[in-house]
Amino acid sequence: MQFPETLKYTKDHEWIKIEGNTATIGITDFAQHELGDIVFVDINAKGKALSAHEIFGTVEAVKTVSDLYLPVSGTITEVNPELEGNPEYVNSDPYGKGWMVKMTLTNAADANELMDVTAYKQLIGE
């Protein structure tokens, strides 16, 4: 499994890439592996201002549905349009084509609570 060192991670298995006041969010390679084949991604949060730890959507695999939690506070500015017709991108490329949302941060300090790659690997026992 891959865990890019430039990203931050959550205990709920989301990853976040912060560039200035913009963040890109998805689920980790570990999460997609545990869920199995992703068949549907449901995110209806575009334009919404949400707090850290709020649910911003769901991901549906063959046998389960899992909530998606926002790692930081902000406003969702973009939902990955490719996932509607290609939810399998979450499995095949979770850190690239499988990204889920982009947002504008309202509290950059939220990122201080996130894990680096070493801490995340310890969390999942890798």
DSSP string, 45-64: -TT-EE-TT-EEEEEEESS-
Whether 68 contacts 58, CB under 8 Å: yes
Backbone angles phi, psi at 95, to 5 degrees: -100, 0
Cα distance between residue 88 and residue 64, in whole Å? 15
CATH of domain 8-110: 2.40.50.100
| Residue pLDDT tens, the chain, 126 long | 889 999 999 999 999 999 999 999 999 999 999 999 999 999 999 999 999 999 999 999 998 999 999 999 999 999 999 999 999 999 999 999 999 999 999 988 888 899 999 999 999 998
Residue 12 is given by DSSP the state T
Cα distance between residue 11 and residue 69, in whole Å? 10
Backbone angles phi, psi at 18, to 5 degrees: -105, 125
What is this structure's pTM?
0.92
